[in-house]
Structure 1
Amino acid sequence: MKVQERTGAGNHKSSGPAQHVGERLPMSARERKPALAALAVLLILVGALGATVLVLRAGERIEVVRISADVPAGKAVTDDSMKPVMVADDPGVNYVRWEQRNALKKLQAKNTLVAGTIAIGQMFSDKAGLPDGKAFVGIALKEGQYPAGIKVGDRVSAYRVGADADKSGGSNANALIVQDAKVNDIVKGDDSTIGSGTLPVTIMVGSSDVAALTQAAAAGQVALVLVPSTTS
C-alpha cells in the first residue's frame, strides 16, 4: 500500500520578517522657554496696571470755584457770585479750589467773568487794572435809554439824546458820543435805586471819550444801543 505523504505546504506561513508600514520617527520633546513666557506675563500685568492707574486718575475729582453770577472787571468775587463744582483734577490747570474761596474774595477780576465760568488763578489780580487808554464811566439810565436785557460784557454805542443832541447842524450823526464801549457793571435792585427809576451802568470807554460822555451823563442825556460784539 502506497503511503500518501501529505505535504504541509499549504499549512506553513512565510517565516520572513514582518514589514512595518508607515512607521513614525521618534520626536524630541518641544523645547520650552520659561523666560519668554514670564516676560509675556509681566508685560500683560504692566499693561493692566497702567490702564487701571489711568482710570483711577480720571476718576479723581476736586471741588473748585465756579462763577455763578457775572463779575465785572476790577470787581471781587463775593459769596453770592460763586458756587462749588466738582471737576477732574488736572495738574496743568490752575484751578481755584473751593477751600481757597476766602482768599479769592480779596482779589479782583482782570476781565469781566461770565456766569458759569470755572475760576482759574490767572483770571485774578491783587489790584484792578485797565487796558492802556481806557477808563470806566458810570451813568444812570432811565427806561428807554438802554436796551432790554442789557448785561455785563455787552458791546454798546453811546448817544447823546435830548434838546442839545441836534444843536450842531441838526444831524443825528453828531449825537454819537462813543462808537464802541463795553458794559462793565450793572447795579440791579440796589437800595439807592429803588423808586428812582434809573439803572446805574458802568461802561469802559476810550480815555478820549470820557469828557463828552461824563458831560452828557451828568445831564441825563445818554442812551445806549447794543452793537455786534467784536472778536479779537
Structure 2
Amino acid sequence: MRAEVTASTLAVQSDLPVGHTLSRHDLSTVNVTVGPGVRFVQADRVQEVVGRRLRVPMVAGALLTEGNLGNPTYPHPGQALIGIAVKPGQYPPDIGPGDHVAVSTVSDATDSQRTAPVSVTAVVTKIDRPTEPQNPAVVTLLLSHAQARLVAAPAAQGLTTLMQVAP
C-alpha cells in the first residue's frame, strides 16, 4: 500500500531573490509524487500566485509552497545579507545559490598594522556574474550580523576570497 499521489505543482524557473513579485514567466508546472502531508502549491492555482511576493529567495526548479509566499521575512533576526564583489580567481566559478562558502579576508596594511586574517562561513543566496570576464561578480551572502561586520570593510576593499566548503 502506498500513500503517495502524483500532483501537478508549481516550480520556479530561475533563481529568484527575496521580495520578488511572481509573474507567469517565473513559474512552470511539474508533476511530482508526494507523500501525505506535503503541501505544494497546485498548478491550477497559478492565477492566485501571480503578483504575490516571495518571503525567501528560491533557486531554479524549487517547488513553490504557501510558506514561500508573503511579506519578506528574510534575513532572519541576527542574520545579514552582504554583497561582495569578487574578481576571477577570488571565487570558484561554479558556485551558486545554496552553496556554503568560507569568506576569507586579508589585510593590505603595512606589516606593523597588519591584522590577522578572518574566515567566516556563509551561504550564497545570489550571484550576478559579469558580462565581461575581467569584471567582478557580485555574490550575495547570508551570514550572521557579527560575521558580516568582520568582512564588510575588507570586502569593500576587494580583499576577500570565497572558498566553497561542505555544508
The question of a shared fold, defined as TM-score above 0.5 by the shorter chain, is answered with yes
Tell me if structure 1 keeps the 8 A contact 2:154–2:160.
yes
Q: Is 1:223 matched up with 2:161?
A: yes
More strand by share: 2
Task: Tell me: CA distance 1:201–1:165, structure 2 relative to 1, closer, same or farther (3 Å).
Answer: farther
Normalised by the length of structure 1, the TM-score is 0.57
Tell me if structure 2 keeps the 8 A contact 1:71–1:109.
no
Tell me if structure 2 keeps the 8 A contact 1:108–1:128.
no
Q: Is 1:199 matched up with 2:137?
A: yes
Structure 1, unaligned runs of 5 or more: 1-57
Higher-RCO chain (CA-CA 8 Å, sequence separation at least 6): 2
1:79 deviates by: 4.8
Identity, % of aligned positions: 23
CA deviation profile, 1:26-66 (whole Å, cap 9, x unmatched) = xxxxxxxxxxxxxxxxxxxxxxxxxxxxxxxx6xx653212
- Measured in 1, the distance between the counterparts of 2:100 and 2:84 equals 15
Q: CA RMSD in A?
A: 3.2
Q: Is 1:146 matched up with 2:91?
A: yes
More helix by share: 1
1:128 deviates by: 3.3
2:123 aligns to what?
A: 182
1:106 aligns to what?
A: 52
Tell me if structure 2 keeps the 8 A contact 1:134–1:206.
yes
Tell me if structure 2 keeps the 8 A contact 1:69–1:80.
no
1:135 deviates by: 0.4
Q: Is 1:136 matched up with 2:81?
A: yes
- Measured in 2, the distance between the counterparts of 1:167 and 1:202 equals 32
The letter for the 2-side match of 1:228 is A
Task: Tell me: CA distance 1:214–1:75, structure 2 relative to 1, closer, same or farther (3 Å).
Answer: same
The letter for the 2-side match of 1:185 is K
The letter for the 1-side match of 2:124 is V
